[in-house]
């Protein structure tokens, strides 16, 4: 949940009671106080001195007077036909309470932009504000921990919203004179540094990168970069080495995140792979030392999974049906809700619930291939048959629908209508660089920096 911090107007003080009512109630309560003291002395307390009695009487009288003010206030207003409303923490006039108010907080785990706006009194403009923000940033990119600020004008009406995903970026949505809303992006200037980092794996790539003092985001960058050649869930081993030349963003001396990976290397039992960033014809791409694209027609795996729970097998014993039945795909065990990517670009030919395979997606690709995704918990928003998707686009989420014993993705591939083992398919690489000689000259500095990291590894 959001933890808002508000600033606003103070409440007015309640009017004081009338003189006659105050005098009457003082007399009644004073007598009651004296009676209480007498009972205390004669029945509960022995050897009580007169000064102590007077002090107790004075304290009782003061407390009684304080209570009398509140009682008389109610009495006076009741005589005038006015009874003060009970203050239950909810403003009786939202516009008045919100005058000049600012609400600041952060998005919680279950929050969306709409829920936060509704909760903070922006329900009437939530749709238009969301639409305006959507023109500069996807509202679905909002994550728990991102901050927001909502401002009301002097009439208590919504006036300005700030969405702050980081210390660098702020998106501002403001109300216009005609009642409409407009959004703008504000980015603070940062210092961009190129740094070289390397490490050796003891137990995992994540642990090695963390041990080198780097953020977890670097793990995702390397995994995504080599996703076409390395399955990091099965191919990483102790002793493997990784190197990276990467841009880092700094603001006021503090690290704010990573920029482009300029060069990277992973070497171990799986082999040695290098990737270099190269911009050609205004288009960015990653290539190996020979200028061949590192991207292929098919991803090595279509999700980040925990383990392979079942491989391609034409004579597998089915755990639900309890019979021998061909398993024409690979099962990847993963938590419910794990994003699933399109293994390659193509056209969605089916997105529907099936009895056995549950929520099912089938995508037709070039060269006679089609990929199949079973047991999804749900489809990506807007996904339907006829839609064209790009490689690594999120198409759905892991689930356990249909005939399933637990959350996993069943991933299958067909070639010209016949099932093939996805783990044995070697996708064709994308186009190489257009000018090899220019490319080789451009990557030479990055090659030298990768080689220089051998000295860093030797010291560790």
- Summarised one tens digit per residue, pLDDT across range 237-262 is 999 999 999 999 999 999 999 999 99
- Joined tokens for residue 325: 């039945």
Q: What is the CA radius of gyration of the chain?
A: 35
Residue pLDDT, tens place only, 55-93: 444 444 444 444 444 434 434 444 444 444 445 555 556
pLDDT at position 430: 85
- 195-295+429-460 and 307-424, same CATH topology: no
User: Cβ(442)–Cβ(277) under 8 Å?
Assistant: no
What would the mean pLDDT of 226-232 be, rounded to a whole number?
Answer: 89
Cβ contacts of 93 within 8 Å, gap of 6 or more? none
Residue pLDDT, tens place only, 104-143: 999 999 999 999 999 999 999 999 999 999 999 988 889 9
Q: What is the CATH number of domain 195-295+429-460?
A: 3.10.450.350
What dihedral do alpha carbons 305, 306, 310, 311 form, nearest 10°? 60
Cα distance between residue 423 and residue 153, in whole Å: 60
User: Cβ(141)–Cβ(185) under 8 Å?
Assistant: no
Cα distance between residue 228 and residue 248, in whole Å: 25
User: Cβ(376)–Cβ(354) under 8 Å?
Assistant: no
pLDDT at position 22: 52
What would the mean pLDDT of 141-159 be, rounded to a whole number?
Answer: 94
* Separation in Å, CA 296 to CA 277, 286, 332: 16, 11, 21
- Joined tokens for residue 158: 């919504």
Is the pTM for the entire model greater than 0.75? no
- CATH class of the 307-424 domain in this structure: mainly beta
User: Mind giving me the DSSP string for 209-238?
Assistant: HHHTT--THHHHHHHHHTTTT--TTTS--T
pLDDT at position 217: 94
Cα distance between residue 302 and residue 427, in whole Å: 13
Q: What residue ranges do the domains of the chain occupy?
A: 19-79, 94-187, 195-295+429-460, 307-424
Cβ contacts of 323 within 8 Å, gap of 6 or more? 317
Query: For 311, phi and psi rounded to 5 degrees?
Result: -95, 175
Q: How far is CA 441 from the centre of its chain?
A: 41
What would the mean pLDDT of 38-65 be, rounded to a whole number?
Answer: 43
Q: What is the CATH number of domain 94-187?
A: 3.10.450.350
pLDDT at position 270: 94
Cα distance between residue 161 and residue 172, in whole Å: 6
pLDDT at position 43: 44
Closest residue by Cα to residue 460 from 106, 148, 247, 202: 202
């Amino acid at each position: 949940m959001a933890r808002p911090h508000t600033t606003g107007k103070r409440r007015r003080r309640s009017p004081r009671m009338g003189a006659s009512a105050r005098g009457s109630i003082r007399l009644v309560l004073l007598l009651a106080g004296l009676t209480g003291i007498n009972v205390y002395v004669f029945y509960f307390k022995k050897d009580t001195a007169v000064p102590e009695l007077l002090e107790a009487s004075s304290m009782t009288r003061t407390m009684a007077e304080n209570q009398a003010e509140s009682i008389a206030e109610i009495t006076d207003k009741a005589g005038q036909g006015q009874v003060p409303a009970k203050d239950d923490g909810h403003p009786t006039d939202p516009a008045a309470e919100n005058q000049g108010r600012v609400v600041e907080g952060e998005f919680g785990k279950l929050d969306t932009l709409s829920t936060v706006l509704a909760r903070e009194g922006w329900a009437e403009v939530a749709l238009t504000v969301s639409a305006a923000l959507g023109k500069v940033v996807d509202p679905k990119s909002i994550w728990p921990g991102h901050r927001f600020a909502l401002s009301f004008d002097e009439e208590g009406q919504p006036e300005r919203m700030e969405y702050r995903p980081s210390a660098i970026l702020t998106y501002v949505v403001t109300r216009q004179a005609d009642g409409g809303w407009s959004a703008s992006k504000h980015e603070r200037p940062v210092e961009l540094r190129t740094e070289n980092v390397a490490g050796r794996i003891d137990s995992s790539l994540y642990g090695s990168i963390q041990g080198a003092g780097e953020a977890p985001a670097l793990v995702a960058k390397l995994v995504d970069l080599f996703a076409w050649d390395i399955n990091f869930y099965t191919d990483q081993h102790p002793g493997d080495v990784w190197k990276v030349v990467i841009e880092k963003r700094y603001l006021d001396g503090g690290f704010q995140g990573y920029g482009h990976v300029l060069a990277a290397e992973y070497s171990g039992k799986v082999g040695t792979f290098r990737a270099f960033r190269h911009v050609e014809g205004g288009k960015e791409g990653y290539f190996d030392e020979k200028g061949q694209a590192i991207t292929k027609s098919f991803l090595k795996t279509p999700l980040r999974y925990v383990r392979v729970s079942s491989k391609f097998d034409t004579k597998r014993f089915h755990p639900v049906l309890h019979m021998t039945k061909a398993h024409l795909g690979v099962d990847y065990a993963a938590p419910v809700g794990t994003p699933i990517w399109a293994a390659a670009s193509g056209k969605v030919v089916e997105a529907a619930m099936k009895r056995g395979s549950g929520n099912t997606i089938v995508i037709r690709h070039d060269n006679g291939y089609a990929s199949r995704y079973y047991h999804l918990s749900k489809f990506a928003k807007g996904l339907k048959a006829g839609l064209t998707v790009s490689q690594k686009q999120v198409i759905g989420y892991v689930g356990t629908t249909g005939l399933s014993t637990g959350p996993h993705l069943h991933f299958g591939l067909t070639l010209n209508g016949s099932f093939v083992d996805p783990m044995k398919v070697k996708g064709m690489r994308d186009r190489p660089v257009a000018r090899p000689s220019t490319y080789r000259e451009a990557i030479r500095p990055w090659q030298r920096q990768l080689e220089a990291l051998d000295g860093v590894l030797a010291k560790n």
